[in-house]
């Protein structure tokens, strides 16, 4: 039995669902075909162009219905796929074209839609142009994001996650170019919007306990930009100015009394509300220039300046009972107020030059400069009162100010040499240097009566860092129809965390492509090694059995075969394997251990196999077939298990072993020159080796009609 939304609704039979879907499809098809039949064709010749007010019309519209039968964990299914039952639009488009420059309002107009209806994402695009006057592009997208996955820290086994999200994200871009074909000067105007709305959940910690909080997400941003570009003194140039406004009005609350995740203590929350409004704006200016001199020397430059500022606050109120033994004390009021401001000016410059010394040798250099500073302040106040106890009222006030300045230089020099048509070599070197300075102060004060004098602590810190890396690669053609590529990068990478050592990495990749008439073979392999020294600063003696270097070893192999023995028949198959092992030293607080910590490691394993097979066939002019099979299996850690935590060691071994299979089949019937009927079926089978509770199976049959309009569009 197939449901429209979930298994809790009234079930309907598969035959009934298919009938309802076919009726709806038939209504749309009958309406479209009747319009086509009643409209006099301006061109009686089959296959000729269809004209409308001087425009050639070409259109392909596909609409249909998806059915769904789901068994197993719906939260996992929605977090992975989120396909619903119901009406949906497939890739559809309408194209109007006239002879260049002869359209009344436009010379070409393309309208495209895909995914609206029961799909988790949809998009619409409009491209319109009038030669010599304007060019307009619009793109609007919508994504429905759902995440609610069980995890091992849930207070109730196999319950919904306390960290979840169910939001709709709508965003779009609109761009207009005036005089698009003018090489001397062109004008640009654009705008964007980005809206996020939805509900979810998170946790907050109070009174030595964790409490699940309901969240409402609501954020907005709008962009406006304008500029000009063209050619001056042989340089291609462009200048643009932009503005952005953004707001966030997300909230968190409780809708009922909560005992927290630990039911054995006295802590509870009776009421809770949190509001964290944010207002901000960004101004940005960008200039770029490019020119090629004598077809030997290429020059490219870009400069970006931006300034972002934000004003935020937080109001939080709650009542409840703390964890004071033996019965806890009632907290009649606990209020938090925070006000913060921040500003971030940034300058980014890039300069690239390329010189073709000979027909075989080319050298290039790219220099990047990035500088920004973040300065901000905050004021915090918390006032709480209790019904009893030694302290009935307490006030905490604090403030802080920071200036964080960052400056980074990156220079990359590269050379390419073409030995022959069969061999080419690429060598390069990258150097980076970073300077970071922090200064400011912290000021705090806690008092129960009267007014206290705050304690001020100044803060000063500076850090300088540099890295080096080697880049190399080759292209080799042993024979005319066989090409091999390889590239290597080895060195140090700048860590985004200023107090952590550089990453020591080695990345290697090789690709091969062989073409033998109707068969092509592709193979690639990739290796990524990453190390990061993480020796802790501890006053206790560290065990020699622990390796205090975090490292990740990632190997990836991929091979595909494509065969097209004839025009109406093609096969494609492939296999991917990913072998990943990560190791991180850890320190776990544990009573009785030397220094209060047990030292050990955390390891993660991935042993992922992926296989697919596709076949496309057209046995007759009126029937097309498509079939595919995909399976993903990760064996994870295999038989390895974590050791019990003790004062001597704390070693954790984790992975995510699972299997995911997805076969699909589709038949396309050519009903007429202008109509195709599609019938398809897709199946998803997910199996989690560690938590079978998360498994699901989903049957997704679908049907659709694709209607073609316009002479040549039907010649398919």
How far apart CA 148 and CA 166 sit, in angstroms, is 8
Say what the pLDDT of residue 644 is.
82
Exposure string of 127-166, with b = 16+ CB inside 10 Å and e = fewer, is bbbbbeebbbbbbbbbbbbbbbbbeeebeeeeeebbbbbb
List, for residues 226-249, the tens digit of each pLDDT value: 999 999 999 999 999 999 999 999
Which residues lie across from 337 on neighbouring strands?
315, 381
Select from 616, 610, 524 the least CA-distant residue to 563.
616
Kindly state the percentage of the chain with pLDDT values over 90.
Answer: 71
Say what the pLDDT of residue 711 is.
63
Q: Count CB atoms within 10 A of the CB of residue 295.
A: 7
Mean per-residue pLDDT, 170-195 = 97
How far apart CA 335 and CA 373 sit, in angstroms, is 33
Mean per-residue pLDDT, 361-370 = 97
pLDDT of 183 over the 60 cut:
yes
Q: Tell me the fold of 14-714.
A: Maltoporin; Chain A (2.40.170)
Say what the pLDDT of residue 612 is.
98
3-state secondary structure 345-393: EEEEEEEEEEEECCCCEEEEEEEEEEEEEEEEEEEEEEEEEECCCCCCE
* Burial environment of residue 327 by CB neighbours within 10 A (0 to 12, 13 to 18, 19 or more): exposed
Lowest mean pLDDT among 37-51, 107-121, 467-481: 37-51
Strands 650-655, 597-620: parallel, antiparallel or unpaired by DSSP? parallel
Beta strand extents in 249-360 (DSSP E only): 251-253, 268-275, 278-293, 297-321, 330-356
pLDDT of 1 over the 80 cut:
no
How far apart CA 629 and CA 637 sit, in angstroms, is 26
pLDDT of 66 over the 50 cut:
yes
Lowest mean pLDDT among 270-279, 338-347, 390-399, 704-713: 704-713
What is the pTM (predicted TM-score) of this model?
0.86
């Amino acid at each position: 039995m197939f449901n429209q939304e979930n298994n809790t609704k009234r079930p309907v039979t598969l035959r009934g669902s298919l009938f309802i879907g076919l009726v709806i499809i038939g209504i749309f098809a009958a309406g479209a075909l009747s319009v086509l039949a009643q409209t006099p064709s301006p061109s009686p010749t089959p296959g000729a162009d269809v004209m409308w007010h001087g425009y050639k019309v070409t259109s392909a519209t596909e609409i249909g219905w998806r059915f769904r039968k789901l068994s197993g964990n719906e939260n996992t299914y929605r977090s992975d796929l989120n396909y619903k039952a119901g009406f949906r639009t497939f890739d559809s488009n309408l194209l109007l074209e006239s002879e260049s420059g002869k359209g009344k309002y436009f010379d070409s107009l393309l309208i495209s839609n895909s995914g609206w209806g029961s799909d988790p994402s949809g998009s619409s695009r409009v491209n319109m142009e009038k030669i010599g006057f304007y060019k307009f592009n619009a793109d609007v997208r919508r994504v429905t994001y759902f995440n609610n996955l069980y995890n091992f820290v849930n207070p109730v086994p196999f319950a919904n996650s306390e960290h979840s999200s169910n939001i709709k994200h709508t965003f779009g871009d609109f761009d207009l170019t005036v005089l698009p074909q003018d090489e001397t000067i062109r004008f640009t105007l654009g705008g964007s919007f980005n809206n996020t709305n939805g509900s979810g959940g998170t946790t907050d910690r109070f009174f030595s306990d964790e409490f699940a909080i309901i969240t409402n997400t609501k954020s907005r941003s709008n962009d406006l930009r304008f500029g000009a570009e063209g050619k001056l003194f042989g340089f291609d140039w462009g200048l643009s100015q932009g503005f952005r406004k953004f707001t966030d009005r997300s909230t968190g609350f409780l809708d009922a009394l909560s005992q927290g995740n630990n039911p054995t203590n006295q802590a509870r929350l009776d009421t809770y509300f949190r509001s964290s409004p944010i207002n901000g704006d960004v101004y940005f200016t960008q200039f770029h220039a490019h020119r090629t001199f004598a077809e030997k020397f290429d020059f490219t430059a870009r400069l970006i300046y931006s300034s972002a500022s934000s004003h935020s606050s937080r109001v939080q109120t709650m009542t409840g009972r703390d964890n004071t033994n033996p019965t806890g004390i009632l907290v009649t009021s606990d209020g938090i107020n925070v006000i913060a401001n921040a500003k971030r000016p940034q300058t980014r410059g890039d300069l690239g030059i390329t010189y073709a010394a000979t027909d075989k040798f080319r050298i290039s250099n790219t220099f990047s400069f990035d500088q920004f500073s973040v300065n901000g302040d905050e004021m915090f106040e918390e006032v709480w009162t209790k019904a009893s106890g030694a302290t009935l009222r307490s006030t905490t006030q604090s403030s802080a100010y920071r200036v964080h300045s960052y400056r980074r230089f990156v220079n990359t020099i590269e050379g390419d040499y073409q030995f022959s048509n069969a061999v080419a070599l690429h060598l390069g070197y990258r150097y980076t240097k970073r300077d970071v300075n922090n200064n400011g102060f912290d000021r705090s004060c806690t008092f129960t009566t009267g007014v206290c004098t705050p304690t001020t602590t100044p803060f000063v810190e500076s850090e300088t860092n540099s890295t080096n890396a080697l880049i190399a690669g080759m292209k080799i053609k042993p024979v005319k129809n066989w090409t091999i590529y390889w590239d290597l990068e080895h060195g140090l990478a700048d860590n985004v965390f200023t107090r952590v050592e550089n990453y020591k990495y080695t990345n290697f990749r090789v690709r091969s492509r062989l073409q033998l008439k109707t068969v092509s073979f592709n193979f690639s392999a990739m290796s990524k090694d990453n190390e990061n020294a993480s020796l802790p600063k501890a006053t206790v003696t560290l065990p020699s059995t622990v390796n205090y270097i975090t490292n990740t070893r990632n190997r990836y192999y991929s091979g595909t075969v494509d065969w097209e023995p004839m025009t109406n028949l093609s096969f494609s198959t492939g296999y991917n394997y990913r072998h990943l092992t990560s190791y991180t030293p850890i320190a776990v607080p544990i009573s009785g251990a030397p220094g209060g910590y047990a030292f050990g490691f955390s390891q993660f394993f991935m042993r992922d196999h992926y296989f697919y097979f596709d076949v496309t066939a057209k046995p007759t002019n009126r029937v097309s077939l498509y079939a595919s099979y995909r399976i993903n299996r990760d064996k994870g850690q295999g038989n390895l298990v974590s050791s019990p935590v003790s004062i001597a060691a704390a070693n954790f071994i984790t992975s995510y072993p699972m299997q995911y299979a997805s076969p699909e089949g589709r038949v396309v019937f050519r009903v007429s020159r202008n109509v195709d009927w599609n019938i398809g079926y897709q199946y998803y089978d997910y199996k989690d080796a560690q938590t079978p509770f998360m498994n699901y199976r989903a049957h997704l049959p679908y049907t659709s009609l694709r209607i073609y309009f316009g002479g040549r569009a039907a010649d398919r």
